[in-house]
Amino acid sequence: MTEVPTHRAQLDCEVAIVGGGPAGLMAAQRLAQAGVRVHLFDAMPSVGRKFLLAGKGGLNLTHSEPADAFAGRFGARQTQIEPMLEGFGADQVKAWAAALGIETFVGTSGRVFPVGMKAAPLLRAWLVQLRGLGVQFHTRHRWLGWDEAGALRFATRAGEVPAGETLVRARALVLALGGASWPQLGSDGAWAPWLQARGVQLAPLQPANCGFDVLNVAPGSAETRREFLRELVGLEAAPARGWTPHFQQRFAGQPLKSVGLSFTDSQGQAFARRGEFVVTETGIEGSLVYAASQWLRDAIAAQGHATLHLDLLPEHDAQRVDAEVRHPRGSRSLSSHLKSRLGIDGVKMGLLHEVLGRDGVNDPQALAAAIKALPLTLVAARPVAEAISTAGGVAFEALDSKGMLQAIPGVFCAGEMLDWEAPTGGYLLTACLASGVQVADGVRQFLGEAVKG
């Protein structure tokens, strides 16, 4: 049975902000502090849900590295993000948290966290501040685009039940709708076609800081892999993905700690870093994989696959590994030999078997080489819904220098819905907050000019 909206309401406001994530809340704060009357709408029953989820990982608010290195994390979008960070960078993020009663500290990696490593106290204090400043919250209001007369359409809910539709007219509008990752928390990317229909240039939404599916080549001898890769380019059907059932059952969910990951793309750009990641049901994910994910994703998009190399023993040089592998093992099994001479066991040993197959692990030269550079071929990024963040979105070319859409004067965009991406490390939240500050300035300027005009 279709549920019919029970009523239509109307609301006129000075500034409407749609999206109560960090970008929208920061825009609301800045505008309200300047005396602007703000109405903030969000589809969910409460705001800041992804911010709260980020708190589960300790809430990495920002990073302590020098400003130019920080801005460099935004890659091709450094030029557009850097001016925002000059207005509101790492120091301002720390000061903002402190003003809400939350002190921060710099972790060993240079990342900055709130002392309690939780998002809830910060969000609570922030919402108290915003309500005190007069920001009016309208939760359970899902924006549906514009009606023919240019009013904003919101589907409203009373609890879990559709309640009707509210039409909102605003002198200025801030869209801070987030990307398309973790849609269950509110950001689903549904806005993309509505903006496109109004002439706004968008880059396709894609997963960023994401996991990958591996190519399934069983049995995994090096020659099978090479043959398979030669054929892959010409394959019409998608290549088989995932681990062998044996490997998946034994090792899915297990972490690989202190490994090196290297990857060189077709342009010769090289990524090499140490860290850790996790074996999943169908591939790999986790911080080290996320760090390389932009290059891996783009290589898969261009060539259908990307082969990275894992150094399973980054503390040991190749000569030492070779010598230990070849060391006479008497009656001991290969597994106990590798465990006692090199400390390789568990998931690392499983990976060697998975990729090299029985023949490969019994060939000392191939085995020693693979321990230092194990090839792992990836064939698909995991869907954006599972990713930490979203690449793509509203193109900067569609915006003026204050984040206003050239195609729709008076409408501003902020946060992760813009076409930028960055690794994890506090860069995402910082840029979202900074763009909230930027659009708030833009809205004030726009309203001021409207008054003058």
Question: Which spans of this chain sit near ligand FAD (rule: CB under 6 A)?
Answer: 18-24, 41-44, 47, 49-51, 53-54, 57, 59-60, 142-143, 176-178, 181-182, 186-187, 190-191, 388-389, 415-416, 426, 428-429, 432
Q: Across the strands, what pairs with 399?
A: 405
Q: Is the dihedral of CA 154, 49, 393, 406 positive or negative?
A: positive
Among candidates 105, 101, 26, which has minimal Cα distance to 63? 105
- Tell me the closest approach of the beta carbon of residue 379 to ligand FAD, in angstroms: 24
CA angle, 365 then 366 then 369, to 5°? 85
- Tell me the closest approach of the beta carbon of residue 350 to ligand FAD, in angstroms: 27
- The answer to whether the beta carbons of residues 216 and 240 sit under 8 Å apart is yes
Nearer to ligand FAD (CB atom), residue 72 or residue 343 = 72
Nearer to ligand FAD (CB atom), residue 243 or residue 427 = 427
Print burial letters for 90-117: b (CB count within 10 Å at least 16), e (below 16).
Answer: bebbbebbeebebebeeeeeebbbbeee
- Tell me the closest approach of the beta carbon of residue 211 to ligand FAD, in angstroms: 12
Nearer to ligand FAD (CB atom), residue 43 or residue 217 = 43
Nearer to ligand FAD (CB atom), residue 47 or residue 299 = 47
- Quick one: three-class SS letters along 158-211? ECCEEEEEEEEEEEEEEECCCCCCCHHHCCCCCHHHHHHHCCCCEEEEEEECCC
- Tell me the closest approach of the beta carbon of residue 353 to ligand FAD, in angstroms: 32
| DSSP per-residue codes, 352-420 | HHHHHHHHHHTSHHHHHHHHHSEEEEEEEEPPGGGSSEEEEEE-GGGB-TTSBBSSSTTEEE-GGGBS-
Nearer to ligand FAD (CB atom), residue 143 or residue 263 = 143
- Tell me the closest approach of the beta carbon of residue 48 to ligand FAD, in angstroms: 7
- Burial (CB < 10 A; 0-12, 13-18, 19+), residue 443, is buried
The Cα 122–Cα 311 span in angstroms is 40
- Tell me the closest approach of the beta carbon of residue 382 to ligand FAD, in angstroms: 13
Nearer to ligand FAD (CB atom), residue 208 or residue 344 = 208
Query: Dmax of the chain from CA atoms?
Result: 90
Nearer to ligand FAD (CB atom), residue 222 or residue 429 = 429
- Tell me the closest approach of the beta carbon of residue 46 to ligand FAD, in angstroms: 9
Nearer to ligand FAD (CB atom), residue 215 or residue 428 = 428
- Tell me the closest approach of the beta carbon of residue 92 to ligand FAD, in angstroms: 14
